[in-house]
Amino acid sequence: MLELIFILPMLTGLVTLAVPPYLGRGVLLVTAILHFQLTIMAWLGKLPVYAERFFSETPEGMLVLLVTSFIFLCIACYSMRYMEETGLSNGTVFPGCMLLFLGTMSMVTLADHPIVLWIAIEATTLVSAPLIFLHHSKEALEATWKYVLICSVGIALALLGCFFITLSIDIAEIEISLSFTFLNQVATQLDPMWLKVGFIFVVIGFGTKMGLAPMHTWLPDAHSQAPCPASALLSGALLNCAFLGIYKVHTVMYLAGLGEFSGNILIGFGLLSMFVAGVFILRQPDYKRLLAYSSIENMGIIAFGVGIGGFALYGAILHMIHHSLIKSSLFLSAGNIHLGFDTKIINRIGGLIKYFPKTFLSFFAGFVGISGLPPFGIFISELFILIGAFQTGHPVSAILFMLSMLLVLAGAAQIFTNMSFGVREHEVLVRENVLRIVPPYILLLASITLCVWMPSAMYTAIMNTIKIIGGTIHG
Amino acid sequence: MKNINDMIMVVILLSVLLSLASSRLITLIKIMAVQGFLVSLLPLLLEHHSSMGSGGLIFFQVMILTKGILIPVLLYVALKRIAIQREIEPIIGYHASLFAGLIIILLSVFITDRLHLAVPSGQELILTTAITTMSAGFFLMMGRKKAITQVIGYLMLENGIFLIGTALIKHFHTVYMVEFGLLLDLLVGVMVMGIILHNINHAFDDIDTDLLNRLKD
Amino acid sequence: MFWGIAPSVKARLNTAIVLEIGLPVLADNKKNDNQEPMNIFLLALAMILVGGALPLLTYRWFMLTKCLSVGVTTIGCITGFYSIFSANADPASLAWSWPWLHVFTLAFTFDSLSFFFLLPIFLICPLAAIYSCFYFERAENSLRTAISYFFTNILIVSMALVTAAANMPTFALVWEIMSISSYFLVMYDYEKTTTRAAGYLYFLFAQAGALLIFASFGVIFSHSGSFDFAQAATIPESVKLMVFLLAFLGFGSKAGIFPLHIWLPHAHPAAPSHISAIMSGVMIKMGIYGILRFYFVLGATDIRLGQTVLVFGIISGLLGVLYALGKHNIKRLLAYHSVENIGIILMGAGLGMIGVAQGDAVMAGFGFAGCLLHVLNHSIFKSLLFLGAGAVIRRTGTSHVDQLGGLMKRMPVTGKTFLVGSVSISGLPPFNGFVSEFLVYFAAFQGLQYSQSTLLLTMIAIISLAVIGGLASFCFTKVVGIVFLGEPRTENARRATEGGWAMTVPMVLLAGACLVIGIFPASFIKLAFAGLADITLLGQVNTVLVATIGAHLALGSRLFLAIIFFVVLCRKLLYRGKEITEGPTWGCGFTRPTARIQYTGTSYARSVVDFFRPFVLIRETEVRLQKIFPKRTAYTSRVDDIAEAAMIYGVAFPLLAVLRKLRWIQHGNVQLYIGYIIVAILVLLLVLFI
Amino acid sequence: MESLVSIGIALLSAPLFPGIILKVKALFAGKKGPPLLIKYYTLLKLLRKGSVYSSTTTFVFKLGPLVSCAGGIMILLFFPLAAVVPVLSFHGDVLVLFYIMATGRFFTIAAALDTGSPFQGMGAAREAFFGTLAEASIFAILILFYRMTGALSFGEYFTGATPISLTGPSGALLLLVIVALFMVLLTENSRVPVDDPATHLELTMIHEVMILDHSGPDLALIELGSFYKLYFYAAFLTLIVCPLNPAGGLLNLPIFYGVLVLIYVTIGLVESTMARFQMSLVPKFVLASSILVVFAAILTMGFI
């Protein structure tokens, strides 16, 4: 039963909230492993769908699910030690909410019904809010407040968007049950006007969650205040889930012949996000905010790639996978740094290479990866997106894309260089630890591996994903 | 039937205007209770919902209970537990707010008029009401300083969306999913926001959002 | 299909037009009978990689690490050399490809141009590696040294592969690997602020360049629909100019053409000297390779291409040497000379391109041959100079020209080889620099027979080349004169001693190469033309002319040496039995001379730098003498790069100011955040409805 | 054979002509002046002596005179003195030769810097600077000649199929060249108004200060080298002013040397009547020469 994939973590999450704290971490790890196993089984096609009306196994969903599950496994390993060392191990809130978070995100990946998708995404907001508030500081409180309020507003708008899409079915007087599968089938008959309005609201709604500018405002606050494993999950998995929502509606739009409209909107949001991220990455004083803005940038790249379509679409999907891997690795490394130095201020940090050589390796490698350099996969995805942009005749957008990327690079390179290589005397509070070192390495290795060799099942999945809306593109 | 509907909608519009003009939180919560009640009542009286089964009826009753009673009570409790020192504290003044509310209604009418052809016939007023409610919700969220007013604004936004969701859309393909989702969202949202409100009050001794201004670049 | 997709969707998926991703047409679809050269070449690369990876395992034994790595690398490079020569007759036999990520093919093919660019790689890199053996002398840095070896060898391999990449993704991949590995090499001394700044700047320019190159790939792909370079010629003529300009700027930022050279004078002083030698001698040439390769694969004959390249070459050449004159840091000075020489190389290329556009095979051939030969020559003498500078810096602890002096006596081998390098880089006979400059001159004089723009440009080119030559020799008399001759200006310089054999042997070998190419130019000119053998664009090469030119140059340099030898003999005779005494330098009346009254590099260069004032920014600070018995006075001056100043004050600062204002967006006010959402909705709805 | 004879005469007679300049200057000043063969006497005197070397110097110091003298000899080998076909010639030899002269300058300067004397450094800087500027003029002249004859060798210029002459097509442009070349001659050979070989203050010297520390045969080699250089430029000018028919063979010699002497006399006249420029004006002077030639070269677009 495919639904097990989200039911299992939800149940264990609820259980964890009730059991004594020392069991919680064990449950977290065991569930992570089981979840990964289930995901693999789903990929092997061993899990049939039970509630076909609401859930289905779509290639794009499965990709996101796989990434999410893999990242979660790494993060779970990481947080074994991390939570202990930050002194947050007493509560059951963290493991419980992490599991619920995983459950709701898995639900997003499997949802086929717009409203189910919407419910799942809304649920992610609610279960992840306690994670952001974990530190109980005033800043954490503020971040949580902004996160919940802005995301709720955004999500409410997404619901409105879903209603409008439903309305477009009604007005066209088609008798189908509401699901993306059926929507895709009848796309051409839908009322274009309401579909467009619906798309606008969905993009704004889920875009809020995904972190597209100008609705991104909660993201840097939340990511910087959440404990690092949670930030890693937020950035590496949650944003993808929100993207999935937009992507599915974009698919409907494309099939309805409105691909250009929705594509242009996505390109616009993508470029704006990249630019805004660039503005704040330059001279950013806080490294977790830096990573958060970098997520905004990368979401912008993904949106841009999807908007461009064709070649860039392949790049966008690849980018989503690699960004998740690398960014979560970066957040985990940032967690090590935060533990070691107890500060998030970039100017107070220098000489990672001296104090934390192993963390330096993963941190800087992550930077190399996120900057789009080989051997990490973002290199290929960005190449694809750029080539795609020219190929589909968007030279101006491509130039803006390049400029924004350069802006981000200029900011990020300076900060990463100074943090890693700068000279500064430090007192090391917490030493490096194998359990906190290996997960970021594994995540990076995964990205390298996928850059060198991609399993054909994954390739087929990506191709199946983009086939639907990349149809008119030829080499 | 049509008359009752229209009357309800006019009352909803009135409640929107009142909420914009009210200067006391207690009043605001009361207005919200009325508005929630009316908004949940409206779908029951609509024509294309006349064939609703018993399950649907129960669902709408639950809806009325939640929106009309449970949430206002929750808010009231929250209000009592946090010692409010000052009242609503508008960023935009009451008169201006009222004026803005009128403009919002006008604009909603105008938009509805523009969309005339695309909407199922005879439901223009619902659309107007929904748009007004949503816009006013946004207005409250933006125009007031207190965090609790933002929650109320959010509720108003939800009311507007609910109106569109239940009133405009044919029922069969949603299978109560919409209602269920809304309910969940509303409940949990308010709960979570309530908890955060409580915490904010605890941490800052006030729920003024000016205090929530530390995280910036 | 294992996805649980509803049947109808499945059907639609099947009917959907399959996304065709232009798989490159493999160049070697034909069965390759002779696998041997390719195997040897891959073996060489594998050995170099192993040589890089070994130190990571053995870094605890410092000496062993160095010997192992250097040994294996050197053998690898020699093997590489062997594979080039064994495949020389048929470069195409050295091709291979792998599928990559289901979408791409990693394809490598060779032609004569690739082979030519492989020469400096396999020549300079092992010498630099040997040199590094003594250059890295601090055992406590052994891990860092090991990592440096690792990235050096990655750099070598990636450069070798850049010359062979046959399609765009392959090129992009190896290009980026090259950039990132060299970035880490620059960062070797990361404790220094200047190094970090240099690394940052380099990273930025490398990536900006890469983006431009990728953009040009994108434009090509959008028209040709294939990743294969071989198909690039099929794109419309009107697009070619744009593609070429994009690529030119992209590669230019790597090669260091003005004004994209800004990273270069920062990165070279920051990196360890043998790394500077590799980067300046070999890596920036990959930029030139890219420009040439793009030009050839595009097959564009538009004269504007050549004119652009030529103009950039002239500007880079002139300003490069000018700034070199104004610089006091010996490695920064050498870095600016790289800009200058890249300028000369580009002038050769530009003249060649104009020749192609005019249909003049002689001009085209000699232009490109001069360009190629200068690539080789520059790689030799520039790495020689960097190695020499490194030895000086290592032994004296300072890189400031005006704090050195008198090193010729203390470091005789370094001094002599540096002198050879200086004469070579100044383009003076009988050394190698002159040979390639002669070819460029020759092409330029060919261009004089045309009219209008070509005539004007070639005239400017010739005069610029002359001025560049003059200024270069000016600059190197300064370096040699101030650093190696005269009296030591500081105690450090006085105590300097010669570096070990591992440092001197590579320098001697390189100096020997300079002289050999100078005295036997014919075969090397032929080599340069051989590098162009596979380029069909150039037309028939006049082999007789090439041979005579070679013979004449050989005659010139040999005759000159003979006359010098004759004069030496005469001098010997004249001095027989004469009394030779030593005394102090004539101080023109000063009775108590100190080493500090010697002319400094700054004052030496000042008059020339002044002459070119509008193009050079001179900043002076001076404490004027005021009282009757003044205590102390001070004067400093520095010469600034206008491109750098423009980049900082014209681009970076205003941009930063604007962006700082934009940071207001994230003001922390939740009400306005919600406002953003509303604005977004309104804007999109307006777009929809209007 | 003719070539060898002519080069032999040139090599031997080169030190004679600077004596003429001295004579002219002396006559102008109302003095009797040194004997015409004064330079020969000087050379002989120097050759007989030993040397004093500064303890600062290295082998580079000794290399300076050698290379500059060798350069001077080399260039004469390729020059069609008296329009006699030169000993050696090939297409492109002008480039080689001017670069060899530059090599000579490189080593002279290096030798000057080798002494560590501040004055020598100063002189070296000036020499290098003005030399660089003069090089621009020379290459502009080469451009013009290439436009006129399509040749790149001295032999071709004056003894080739289309020799340069004032009466030929676009010959009028040669007037500009003559002026420019004369200016270059003054610069390259450190004559007034660029430099004053007779000055006594080291601060104002250019060439002379560079060779302060040389003595004995080394100094003789330097002197010889500079005589050849001056001789070359004067001969170059002579052939432009008065083109000779290569068929004339050795009979050209008297005419050639006559004009040559006239040029030396002109140099003497200039030195006698002009004061030297302020140092900051020299670059403009040299630049003026190159601008003249570039102007001429551009004018060829109209003629050819």
- pLDDT, tens digit, 9 for 90 and up, residues C271-313: 999 999 999 999 999 999 999 999 999 988 889 999 999 999 9
What's the count of helices (H) and strands (E) in chain A, helices before strands?
20, 0
Q: How confident is the model at residue C620 (pLDDT cuts 50, 70, 90)?
A: confident
One-letter amino acid at D276 equals R
* Residue C2 confidence (pLDDT) above 60: no
State the pLDDT at residue C117.
95
State the pLDDT at residue B59.
76
Spatial separation of the C-alpha atoms in residues A124 and A102, rounded to whole Å:
8
Q: What are phi and psi of A242, to 5 degrees?
A: -65, -40
For C81, counting Cβ atoms within 10 Å of its Cβ (0-12 exposed, 13-18 middle, 19+ buried), the class is middle
The answer to whether the Cβ–Cβ distance between A280 and C663 falls below 8 Å is yes
Average pLDDT, rounded, for chain B: 80
More confident residue, D80 or C593: D80
The answer to whether the Cβ–Cβ distance between C466 and D143 falls below 8 Å is no
Condensed to tens digits (0 to 9), the pLDDT of residues B111-127 reads: 888 776 555 656 778 88
* Residue A473 confidence (pLDDT) above 70: no
For the segment B76-87, the average pLDDT, to the nearest whole number, is 74
C-beta separation of D53 from D65 below 8 A: no
| Of residues C296, C298, C292, C334, the one with CA closest to residue C313 | C292
For testing the chain A interface, which of C162, C684, C686, C687 should be mutated: the one with the most A CBs within 10 Å? C684
Spatial separation of the C-alpha atoms in residues A326 and A441, rounded to whole Å:
10
For the segment A247-265, the average pLDDT, to the nearest whole number, is 93
Condensed to tens digits (0 to 9), the pLDDT of residues B38-68 reads: 988 887 777 666 666 677 777 778 888 888 8
For A82, counting Cβ atoms within 10 Å of its Cβ (0-12 exposed, 13-18 middle, 19+ buried), the class is buried
* Residue C613 confidence (pLDDT) above 60: yes
**Chain D from 77 to 96: CB within 8 A of any C CB:** 77, 88, 90-93, 95-96
Chains linked to A by 3 or more Cβ pairs within 8 Å? B, C
Most confident of A61-70, C104-113, D49-58: A61-70
Taking the Cβ of residue A93 and every Cβ of chain B, the question of whether any pair is shorter than 8 Å is answered with no
The answer to whether the Cβ–Cβ distance between C674 and B216 falls below 8 Å is no
Query: Mind telling me how many Å the CA of A23 is from chain C's nearest CA?
Result: 37
Taking the Cβ of residue C661 and every Cβ of chain B, the question of whether any pair is shorter than 8 Å is answered with no
Q: How confident is the model at residue C10 (pLDDT cuts 50, 70, 90)?
A: very low
Taking the Cβ of residue C681 and every Cβ of chain B, the question of whether any pair is shorter than 8 Å is answered with no
| Of residues C262, C66, C282, C257, the one with CA closest to residue C157 | C282
Spatial separation of the C-alpha atoms in residues C121 and A13, rounded to whole Å:
59
Spatial separation of the C-alpha atoms in residues D151 and D132, rounded to whole Å:
24
| Of residues A363, A297, A370, the one with CA closest to residue A331 | A363
One-letter amino acid at A107 equals M
State the pLDDT at residue B120.
60
Spatial separation of the C-alpha atoms in residues C642 and C540, rounded to whole Å:
43
State the pLDDT at residue B52.
63
| Of residues A286, A342, A332, the one with CA closest to residue A433 | A332
CB pairs under 8 A between A and C: 202
Taking the Cβ of residue B163 and every Cβ of chain A, the question of whether any pair is shorter than 8 Å is answered with no
State the pLDDT at residue C8.
40
User: Structure tokens of D207?
Assistant: 């060439």
State the pLDDT at residue C12.
37
One-letter amino acid at C106 equals L
Give Cα D39 to chain centroid, integer Å.
Answer: 16
Q: How confident is the model at residue B87 (pLDDT cuts 50, 70, 90)?
A: low
Is the residue at B124 inside a domain? yes
Query: Mind telling me how many Å the CA of B126 is from chain A's nearest CA?
Result: 14
Residue C87, CA distances (Å) to A79, A328, C92, C230, C664 in order: 56, 47, 8, 21, 62
Spatial separation of the C-alpha atoms in residues C477 and C419, rounded to whole Å:
9
Spatial separation of the C-alpha atoms in residues C372 and C120, rounded to whole Å:
11
C-beta separation of A154 from A207 below 8 A: yes
Sign of CA dihedral C208, C213, C216, C218: negative
For D111, counting Cβ atoms within 10 Å of its Cβ (0-12 exposed, 13-18 middle, 19+ buried), the class is buried
Is the residue at B217 inside a domain? no
Length of chain D as a residue count: 304
The answer to whether the Cβ–Cβ distance between C666 and B217 falls below 8 Å is yes
State the pLDDT at residue C13.
36
Query: Mind telling me how many Å the CA of C476 is from chain D's nearest CA?
Result: 9
Nearest by CB to C429, from D103, D117, D128: name it. D103
Q: Which residue of B has its CA nearest to C665?
A: B217
Nearest by CB to C581, from D52, D112, D115: name it. D52
**DSSP structural state of residue B167:** I
Percent of chain C topping pLDDT 90: 67
The answer to whether the Cβ–Cβ distance between C678 and B138 falls below 8 Å is yes
Q: Which H or E run includes C641?
A: strand C635-641
| Of residues A24, A170, A174, the one with CA closest to residue A89 | A24
For the segment C39-64, the average pLDDT, to the nearest whole number, is 91
* Residue C25 confidence (pLDDT) above 50: no
Is the link from the previous residue into A214 a cis peptide, with omega within 30 of 0? Answer: yes
* Residue C3 confidence (pLDDT) above 60: no
C-beta separation of C675 from B142 below 8 A: yes
For the segment A332-350, the average pLDDT, to the nearest whole number, is 92
* Residue C373 confidence (pLDDT) above 60: yes
Nearest by CB to C578, from D132, D216, D221: name it. D216
State the pLDDT at residue C355.
94
Q: How confident is the model at residue C202 (pLDDT cuts 50, 70, 90)?
A: very high
For the segment A113-118, the average pLDDT, to the nearest whole number, is 89
Spatial separation of the C-alpha atoms in residues A76 and A67, rounded to whole Å:
14
Taking the Cβ of residue A2 and every Cβ of chain B, the question of whether any pair is shorter than 8 Å is answered with no
The answer to whether the Cβ–Cβ distance between C677 and A153 falls below 8 Å is yes
Nearest by CB to A142, from B165, B214, B217: name it. B214
Average pLDDT, rounded, for chain C: 89
For testing the chain C interface, which of A204, A217, A313 should be mutated: the one with the most C CBs within 10 Å? A217
**Chain D from 157 to 196: CB within 8 A of any C CB:** none
Chains linked to D by 3 or more Cβ pairs within 8 Å? C
Condensed to tens digits (0 to 9), the pLDDT of residues A74-109 reads: 999 999 888 888 877 667 889 999 999 999 999 999
C-beta separation of B67 from B186 below 8 A: yes
C574: chain D residues, CB-CB within 8 Å: 47, 217, 220
Spatial separation of the C-alpha atoms in residues C649 and C643, rounded to whole Å:
10
| Of residues A472, D158, A108, B199, the one with CA closest to residue C16 | A472
Nearest by CB to B91, from C663, C668, C671: name it. C671
* Residue C225 confidence (pLDDT) above 80: yes
Expressed as residue numbers, the domain containing B206 is 2-211
**Chain B from 78 to 137: CB within 8 A of any C CB:** 91, 114
pTM for the model? 0.93
State the pLDDT at residue A472.
41
Taking the Cβ of residue B142 and every Cβ of chain A, the question of whether any pair is shorter than 8 Å is answered with no
D213: chain C residues, CB-CB within 8 Å: 585-586
End-to-end Cα, chain A, rounded Å: 40
Most confident of A393-402, B40-49, C605-614, C663-672: A393-402
- Looking at A211-253, list the stretches that DSSP marks H as alpha helix, in order from N- to C-terminal side: 218-225, 228-233, 239-253
State the pLDDT at residue C407.
93
End-to-end Cα, chain D, rounded Å: 37
| Of residues D92, D36, D7, the one with CA closest to residue D261 | D36
Burial A4-35 (b: 16+ CB within 10 A, else e): bbbebbbebbebbbeeebeebbebbbebbebb
Please report, in tens digits, the pLDDT of each residue of chain D (304 residues total): 788 888 999 999 999 999 999 999 999 999 998 999 999 999 999 999 999 999 889 999 999 999 999 999 999 999 998 888 888 899 999 999 999 999 999 999 999 999 988 888 889 999 999 999 999 999 999 999 998 888 899 988 888 888 888 877 778 888 999 999 999 999 999 888 888 877 878 778 888 888 888 999 999 999 999 999 999 999 999 999 988 888 877 788 899 999 999 999 999 999 999 888 888 889 999 999 999 998 888 887 765 5
Spatial separation of the C-alpha atoms in residues C459 and C465, rounded to whole Å:
10
Nearest by CB to B216, from C666, C674, C689: name it. C666
Residue A359, CA distances (Å) to A328, A333, A444 in order: 14, 6, 12
Is the residue at B36 inside a domain? yes
The answer to whether the Cβ–Cβ distance between C4 and A314 falls below 8 Å is no
C-beta separation of D255 from D244 below 8 A: yes
The answer to whether the Cβ–Cβ distance between D114 and C555 falls below 8 Å is no
Spatial separation of the C-alpha atoms in residues C369 and C543, rounded to whole Å:
13
User: Structure tokens of B201?
Assistant: 């009050």
Spatial separation of the C-alpha atoms in residues A65 and C688, rounded to whole Å:
34
More confident residue, C673 or A475: C673
A59: chain C residues, CB-CB within 8 Å: 3
Spatial separation of the C-alpha atoms in residues B217 and C659, rounded to whole Å:
12
User: Structure tokens of A240?
Assistant: 């993808």
Q: How confident is the model at residue C209 (pLDDT cuts 50, 70, 90)?
A: very high
Chains linked to B by 3 or more Cβ pairs within 8 Å? A, C
Q: Which residue of C has its CA nearest to B92?
A: C671
The answer to whether the Cβ–Cβ distance between B216 and C667 falls below 8 Å is yes
Is the residue at B149 inside a domain? yes
More confident residue, A268 or C10: A268
User: Structure tokens of C642?
Assistant: 């206008």
B188: chain A residues, CB-CB within 8 Å: 123, 126
Q: How confident is the model at residue A289 (pLDDT cuts 50, 70, 90)?
A: very high
Asked if chain A contacts chain D via 3 or more Cβ pairs within 8 Å, the reply is no
One-letter amino acid at D141 equals I
The answer to whether the Cβ–Cβ distance between C180 and A379 falls below 8 Å is no
Query: Mind telling me how many Å the CA of C293 is from chain D's nearest CA?
Result: 30
**Chain A from 184 to 223: CB within 8 A of any B CB:** 191, 193-194, 220-221
| Of residues A174, A175, A319, A190, the one with CA closest to residue A247 | A319
Provide Rg for chain D, Cα atoms: 19
**CB atoms near residue C102 (< 10 Å):** 16
Number of compact structural domains in chain B: 1
- Please list, in sequence order, all residues whose beta carbon lies within 8 angstroms of the beta carbon of residue A229, skipping any fewer than 6 positions away: A75, A78, A79, A82, A83, A98, A331, A332, A335
Taking the Cβ of residue B56 and every Cβ of chain A, the question of whether any pair is shorter than 8 Å is answered with no
B150: chain C residues, CB-CB within 8 Å: 670-671
C675: chain B residues, CB-CB within 8 Å: 142
State the pLDDT at residue C37.
79
Condensed to tens digits (0 to 9), the pLDDT of residues A127-165 reads: 999 999 988 888 998 999 999 999 999 999 998 898 888
Is C100 in a helix, a strand, or coil?
Answer: strand
Give Cα B177 to chain centroid, integer Å.
Answer: 20
* Residue C347 confidence (pLDDT) above 50: yes
Query: Mind telling me how many Å the CA of A231 is from chain B's nearest CA?
Result: 16
Q: How confident is the model at residue C596 (pLDDT cuts 50, 70, 90)?
A: confident
State the pLDDT at residue B117.
55
The answer to whether the Cβ–Cβ distance between C560 and D297 falls below 8 Å is no
Give Cα B159 to chain centroid, integer Å.
Answer: 4
Is the residue at B216 inside a domain? no
Q: What are phi and psi of C400, to 5 degrees?
A: -80, 125
Percent of chain C topping pLDDT 70: 95
C219: chain A residues, CB-CB within 8 Å: 390, 395
One-letter amino acid at B100 equals A
Q: What are phi and psi of D90, to 5 degrees?
A: -155, 165
The answer to whether the Cβ–Cβ distance between A421 and C680 falls below 8 Å is no
State the pLDDT at residue B177.
62
Query: Mind telling me how many Å the CA of B139 is from chain C's nearest CA?
Result: 9
C-beta separation of B137 from A156 below 8 A: no
State the pLDDT at residue C38.
83
State the pLDDT at residue B119.
58
- Please list, in sequence order, all residues whose beta carbon lies within 8 angstroms of the beta carbon of residue B67, skipping any fewer than 6 positions away: B36, B37, B39, B40, B159, B186
C-beta separation of C361 from C539 below 8 A: yes
Q: What is the largest CA-CA distance in chain B?
A: 55
Is the link from the previous residue into C630 a cis peptide, with omega within 30 of 0? Answer: no
Asked if chain D contacts chain B via 3 or more Cβ pairs within 8 Å, the reply is no
